[in-house]
Structure 1
Amino acid sequence: MSAPLPPESAHFGGRFGAAPVIVGTAAWNGLAFSPYQTWAFRRAELSAFSETPFRAPNGKKVTMAPIRTLPTRDSGAARLAPIATRTLTQLLDSLGELPPNATVALVICLPERLGDKAFREQRLQVERALVKPLEERGLKPLVHVEPRGHASLAFALLEAGAVLRNRQVDVALVGGVDTSYDPEVVETLIAQQRLFDGENLNAALAGEGAAFFALARPEVAKRARWPVLARLDTVATDREPARWDNEVPCMATGLTRAGRVVSERLREEQRTLDWWLSDMTAEELRIHEFQLAWPRVAHDVMPPTAALEFLSECLGDLGAAAMPTGLAIAVEGMLRGDPGAATCLLTGSSASGDRGVVLISREE
């Protein structure tokens, strides 16, 4: 048997060269309209959960964390496109004018189903909707799409980091959008027994939302006079053989190997992991995987005072929007000193087996 391939990864900052800096964030979900509100409401332990019109086979209404200001009849691309567009527009408004002749990349994280041919039109609708506000500002973005679900952001940042490092673009607008408020999605999750119906505890409470952020080369941020909110340190991806639809024993190899890329760098640089934001849900497989991976990744870099939090507790399962939302929350938390963290690890685990981790740090 051949040895497994090492995780795909990228390091930035320090001896690895200039790190891309985060200069703006935006978010919209069932809990709040902005990153600040999302951070604040989570700290206040508020919840986005409510009953929906969907019914489970047992007759009970399905509980989700929907955006309740959207029309209840809308689903699919009719929800994805406006959620994504409003969030990206919020980010663009906060950035203001881009430097003259700035080149821009648009990197989009989407649910795994939008990678299938059957959903091609929905994917194109979302892409077109997101490109439009950029074109209205006279920008012709380089577009890259990652329909990998929960772990999409890590794969997206490998791409965004590469084009920034190679000076192909000045700014990368990166983000994700997802929703489970869709009859087809609900039907699929119920058939897979993966949707909480009031009785099945081995299931997730679904959510919806979007989050976007702007990455720029440091000299571009300085020229545009953008505030530097945080920096991108490390990105890593891997694969987990065990999934909900097979009988492979879960060893958490994918999440562990990707996570160790981060913790080994932190140990070498004598830094600590101060905050871990995970997309883990109440599904037994996800819990078991995290229980195995956490001590392997964190044992030599995460002090007892560090914060460990799960996004789904208040926001529901945000799918492809989970890691981008986590990044927006992490930036707010580090800027405001609550929690008192200089580093934050974001982790995502896709249903297909993709695993991704992203380390960001507070700009000193």
Structure 2
Amino acid sequence: MYDINNLLRKNIKNLTPYSSARDEYTGEASVFLDANENAFGSPLDTAYNRYPDPMQYKVKIRLSEIKGVPARNIFVGNGSDEAIDILFRSFCNPGVDNVIICPPTYGMYQVSANINDLEARKVLLTEEYQLNLEGIAEAIDERTKLIFICSPNNPTGNSLNRDDIETLLANFNGIIVIDEAYINFSRQKTFIQELTEYANLVVMQTLSKAWGLAGLRVGMAFASEEIIEVMNKVKPPYNVNEASQQLALEALNNVQQVNGWIKETLDERDKLVLTLKELPFVTDIYPSDANFILVKTTDAKGIYNFLVQHGIIIRDRSKVELCEGCLRITIGTPQENKILLSTLQQYK
């Protein structure tokens, strides 16, 4: 049975987190002489001489309004990669515990596991790019703490079967992490609405994709209050800078514009798929719920190099397990997609 106390590392359970100046006083004042900041300001038009809110309270309140989740159930990090690393450091003992990943998938799960000296047990997706529940069940042992699921999946683009994910949530005594970086482009519902049903669920999202804020590095994790408390305890005191917080808040007031971009991206994706299917070297295009498509070709490396020569950069995924011969193409603007297609039509 799931119990967070059985999963937490002993040192994390006993950890006293760093107490910053902004943790100890959070109100308004006319003179701040507590944090050894430069009182004269910044050599910029905007002053960044004060430390940011360590808990990103205003950002969480706005996210709470958009996502329908209480602010206390939200973690805001320096990209989703920080959330991944914090989950490893909170729940997994280096050299002892293991996690499960399901390739082909986002490569940072494996990298972060390696950094934290953890065994990442690979259970390949099926030929249809769905979860292998039997294989996952066989890979789980008493030292398995986390299972990472990317849906919509990167690099395949498809959403994973919801019933399969719920089967894992109901039967695994560790934590299930669902990475929903591309959920805004998907027909599937987010798993955020299931947080009240599953105490062992963590849902990750980001402002890097549909929201167009990749350069700000703002990621989110949604989970039970007890998991969020642990993540806040382990994170660095000022993990999201003031500029990112201010700009994220500004962006979060433009939901309608973002929704328009999402619709245009999906329209462009459909057009791109139709035209790519007509090219003789394209053998398959996999269904996508993301802002990219995975395209199987007869000569992935040759096509990739040809496009590079013409100043067009895509991702060669042909060496990734179950993605042999495949290229991953992000959906661009109408003009960018037009350039891509006209260039590919010249490839022999």
Q: TM-score, normalised by structure 2?
A: 0.26
- Of structures 1 and 2, the larger Rg is shown by 2
Q: TM-score, normalised by structure 1?
A: 0.25
